[in-house]
A and B are shown apart, each in its own frame.
Chain A
Amino acid sequence: MRLLNRPLGRLSRHRRRPLAGLLVVLLGLLLTGGLYAVFSPAQASQDNSAAQIKQGRELFLAGCSFCHGQNGQGVKTLDGNQLGPPLIGVGAAAVDFQVGTGRMPAVQPGPQIPRKEVSYTPDEIAALAAFVASLGPGPAIPSPEDYSLAGLSDSELQQAVARGGQIFLSNCSACHNFEGSGGAMPKGGYAPRIRGVPAKYIYEAMLTGPQAMDNFSNGNLSPAEKRDVIAYLQSLQDNPDFGGFGLGGIGPVSEGMFAWLFGIGSLVGVATWIAAHTARTSKTKAEM
């Protein structure tokens, strides 16, 4: 006991020294910072080699800085509108989503930047992401374990789908429609169709909230819940159309169109056919 007590006793002798408080605060800060560095969401620090950031910066200056500013600080137009938003703190995930789906670089400003051909190679996208991530801390590109459904057993997957369906219908279907066919937003904007979108981009979209979309941070929807939503969307994709041809999956509007064009159209055709064939012996059309 004496042996154990000695160092503590020696330490406690100094506990009222003028610098002791400061030292404790310093130690606390160091510990918190260290723990944070270990446990915080992984920053895009894995491939943050200086060369990649440098390449990303060059690409950024050429392709992005006109709207987002040379340091990603955002650019305002003369009448006070935002040309391109600031990118400090949006993280690598946002870049991977926007550039990886072809939305960025935008052709022109407008109510919504549409999805189009991807302009950069995967390496270039990674470099751009690394550069933007270096501007300030933000969500990193998710790893496949986050959104992959591969490791789930059948019953786990089924539970994930059922949970994901309820999350989807509570949070997503209001804009994206009940089976992800997309929907309209005010002033020319729209919630895009999300059927058939790769799982990574769906995950990144929830994580970063691109354009008009809400941001579902990990505190809001946990990574497991995000994966459940992806599992539900995947299950819609995998299911056959139980009822037959799905009519675009946009609800009763297309059903009404088919009722009129196909249903009434064909039945009026049948009526014409029946009326044109009278009880005459010859097959010629009745003279009106």
Chain B
Amino acid sequence: MSLDTSKIADTNRGTPATAKKPNKAGAVAGWADDRLSLGTLTKAFARKVFPDHWSFMLGEIALWSFVVLLLTGVFLTFWFVPSMSESTYQGSYTQLRGVQMSDAYASTLHISFDVRGGLLVRQMHHWAAMLFIAAMFVHMMRTFVTGAFRKPRELNWIVGSLLLLLGILEGFAGYSLPDDLLSGTGMRIADGLIKATPVVGTYMSFFLFGGEFPGDVIIPRLYILHVLLIPGLLLALIGAHMLLLVFHKHTQWPGPGRTEKNVVGYPMLPVYAAKAGGFFFMVFGVTALMGALLSINPIWKYGPYDPSKVTAGSQPDWYMGIAEGLLRIMPNWETHIWGITISWNVMIPGQILPFVLFGMIIGWPFLEAWVTGDKREHHLLQRPRNAPTRTAFLAAMVTVYGLLWAAGGNDILATHFHWSLNSITYFMRAAVFILPAIVFYITRRWCIGLQRADNDRLLHGYETGIIMRSPEGAYSERHLPISEERAYTLTARQRDEVHELHPAVDENGVAAPGSRSDQIRARLSQAMFGDNVQKPTAQELEEARHHAEHTHELEAGLAHPASGHEFDDHNLRDAEDVPLRSH
């Protein structure tokens, strides 16, 4: 089905429309459309409306840095040799000439020093990888803190979490490929983590490395994971993520004209195609700038991997930093039983805790859904302050993450701030438990305080900053009502309902079914929502309106909210038109 738009009038002038000569592009499009029905396919997508907000573009950073990764990665595969066969280096980096090294390392040196633009592309690839995972984290935090994971988007939350996990795995595999001293040290830690599995750890390590570490198969194996398997999975999941996004429609902030049933924004074509396309070039530009100006992973300084060598400042890339931190602060616990050593000191921080922490974040939406029992669809976002417990939980998790990050870099902290390495370890051991609790409490109270401030704004108006002196000599700050739009936006949220506990036994003394989980649910509900400040009722708002009657009279003739200077002689003194505040 094709529609010949050339014959449709595009002016409202009196002269009749005349058919324009179809141009070449139109002819090609028409030819393709007749055979593939692209028109119907693209029409729905081209008219898809997306709302405008900066925080909705964070996921795009991840998407575009993934595209940069694909482009630069293909370039690197042309020269990279994923082999652990040894040869003597005779390339142009003289410091290593004559040194025995693996082909993987030698080819990375070749890319860095002998391939035109190779070092730039290698550095862009690495920076883009750091940004890819960082952007996923930021996007995930935005989704979490605004409640965008609620029904119907739970599945997309899971898909996103898988993307994050796979992204980290992909990054680690890529970090290990050049076979330099740092990546080999990283593989040694991975080997240690695997070996810490009780009973079967050694077998698993031998299967993975094809014998005793480091063996000679791990780099070809990681290479296939890095360039084929994981990117394939990532692409498929990104596709699913985007399809679900289009299918569910994008969430939006509440406001006048925005409901659970519509999306207010601009269509994909031409506005968002231009915006998103432009954003790709910005992301490409930033990675190119970083790749060109900032040195990353200078493998020529690390030298080829050799299990007998190590360097100070051996750290993983940032996204593995918390695993490193957990390992560094873990007390040295081991159990010897029936001739088997159980390395709690490696197993707990390496195999259990990272997944527990990740699981807590991934599981929260489902916990929240169970506690609220909310089965409604949500397309309007929540402001972080209107879900104080959730926001505080995220803040606490970010604190744990940050502390473990810092613990992973404890040697850098020690040298740069002149602290004792041991003191940092002791501090962190306690801080990872104490500080998140403090941060949780403060954030929660902060959110509730902001909710109160919102209610004050609704009921008493905003603070004008104008101090009035009454005839009696008392000073007071003049408050003025906020605009209708603002009031609508502030009140466009649902009231939280605290789950009431049903009696555990009915009047006949028979225990109600499921009362145990019901008790837990009621207790959690009270803890999560009991202290929240609810928006004022219609009656309260009406009373407040009566209260501010006088101001309303003053405002009656104005096209905008009163500035407050209606009450003083400011306008008399300053005849200049002072721009009004848009409260």
- Which residues of A does B touch, CB under 8 Å? 111, 158-159, 161-162, 165-166, 169-170, 173-179, 181-188, 190-191, 232, 235-236, 239, 241-247, 249-260, 262-264, 266-268, 270-272, 274-276, 278-279, 286-288
Residues on B with beta carbons closer than 8 Å to the beta carbon of A158: 94, 97
Residues on B with beta carbons closer than 8 Å to the beta carbon of A276: 54
When C-beta atoms are compared, the residue in chain A nearest to B112 turns out to be: A242
When C-beta atoms are compared, the residue in chain A nearest to B285 turns out to be: A270
26 contacts between A and B (CB under 8 A): A158-B97, A162-B99, A165-B99, A169-B181, A173-B310, A178-B181, A186-B420, A188-B420, A242-B298, A243-B298, A244-B294, A244-B295, A249-B301, A251-B182, A251-B314, A252-B315, A259-B134, A263-B290, A267-B61, A268-B54, A270-B282, A270-B286, A271-B54, A271-B57, A271-B60, A274-B282
Given A184-B410, A188-B419, A274-B278: A244 touches B292 (CB 8 Å cut-off) = yes
Stretch at the interface among B123-131, B203-211, B333-341, B447-455: B123-131
CB of B15 within 8 Å of the partner chain: no
CB of B554 within 8 Å of the partner chain: no
Stretch at the interface among B159-167, B316-324, B531-539: B316-324
Name A264's contact: one of B52, B99, B138, B414 (CB within 8 Å): B138
Given A246-B295, A263-B131, A288-B253: A190 touches B414 (CB 8 Å cut-off) = yes
Contact B275 A274 (CB under 8 A): yes
A169 to B180, CA, bound (A): 12
The smallest C-beta distance from B257 to any residue of chain A, in angstroms, reads: 12
Name A188's contact: one of B130, B271, B298, B421 (CB within 8 Å): B421
CB of B231 within 8 Å of the partner chain: no
Q: Number of A-B pairs whose CB atoms are under 8 Å? A: 218
Given A170-B308, A242-B119, A246-B298: A266 touches B314 (CB 8 Å cut-off) = no
Contact B294 A247 (CB under 8 A): yes
Contact A253 B294 (CB under 8 A): no
When C-beta atoms are compared, the residue in chain B nearest to A165 turns out to be: B95
Contact A174 B414 (CB under 8 A): no
Given A111-B420, A178-B302, A268-B138: A159 touches B98 (CB 8 Å cut-off) = yes
The smallest C-beta distance from A227 to any residue of chain B, in angstroms, reads: 16
Contact A259 B130 (CB under 8 A): yes
Where chain B touches its partner, the secondary structure class is helix
Contact B282 A267 (CB under 8 A): yes
Residues on A with beta carbons closer than 8 Å to the beta carbon of B582: 287
Residues on A with beta carbons closer than 8 Å to the beta carbon of B300: 242
When C-beta atoms are compared, the residue in chain B nearest to A246 turns out to be: B295
Contact A174 B312 (CB under 8 A): yes
The smallest C-beta distance from A107 to any residue of chain B, in angstroms, reads: 14
The smallest C-beta distance from B267 to any residue of chain A, in angstroms, reads: 9
CB of B140 within 8 Å of the partner chain: no
A280 to B295, CA, bound (A): 41
- Which residues of B does A touch, CB under 8 Å? 52-58, 60-61, 94-99, 112-113, 119, 123, 127, 130-131, 134-135, 138, 181-182, 253, 255, 266, 271, 275, 278-279, 282-283, 286-287, 290, 292-298, 300-303, 306, 308-318, 321, 408-412, 414-415, 418-423, 485, 489, 582
Name A252's contact: one of B61, B95, B182 (CB within 8 Å): B182
A117 to B63, CA, bound (A): 53
Given A177-B312, A279-B271: A267 touches B54 (CB 8 Å cut-off) = no
Name A162's contact: one of B96, B318, B419, B485 (CB within 8 Å): B96
Contact A245 B295 (CB under 8 A): yes
Residues on A with beta carbons closer than 8 Å to the beta carbon of B57: 271, 274-275
A257 to B95, CA, bound (A): 29
Residues on A with beta carbons closer than 8 Å to the beta carbon of B60: 271
Contact A259 B99 (CB under 8 A): no
A259 to B295, CA, bound (A): 12
Contact B313 A181 (CB under 8 A): yes
A283 to B99, CA, bound (A): 61
13 A-B pairs besides A169-B309, A255-B294 with CB distance below 8 A are: A166-B99, A173-B181, A174-B311, A178-B313, A184-B415, A190-B415, A255-B130, A258-B294, A264-B134, A264-B135, A271-B54, A271-B57, A279-B271
Residues on B with beta carbons closer than 8 Å to the beta carbon of A279: 266, 271
When C-beta atoms are compared, the residue in chain B nearest to A235 turns out to be: B95
The smallest C-beta distance from A238 to any residue of chain B, in angstroms, reads: 10
A173 to B305, CA, bound (A): 13
Residues on A with beta carbons closer than 8 Å to the beta carbon of B410: 184
Contact B253 A175 (CB under 8 A): no
Residues on A with beta carbons closer than 8 Å to the beta carbon of B127: 259, 263
A165 to B61, CA, bound (A): 40
A246 to B300, CA, bound (A): 13
When C-beta atoms are compared, the residue in chain A nearest to B180 turns out to be: A178
The smallest C-beta distance from A192 to any residue of chain B, in angstroms, reads: 9
Contact B318 A256 (CB under 8 A): yes
Contact A162 B94 (CB under 8 A): yes
Which 9 pairs show the lowest CB-CB distances between chains A and B?
Answer: A183-B312, A256-B318, A243-B295, A251-B313, A184-B414, A259-B130, A184-B411, A271-B57, A188-B420
A72 to B255, CA, bound (A): 82
Contact B415 A183 (CB under 8 A): yes
Residues on B with beta carbons closer than 8 Å to the beta carbon of A181: 312-313
When C-beta atoms are compared, the residue in chain A nearest to B411 turns out to be: A184
Contact A271 B58 (CB under 8 A): yes
Contact A270 B138 (CB under 8 A): no
A190 to B420, CA, bound (A): 9
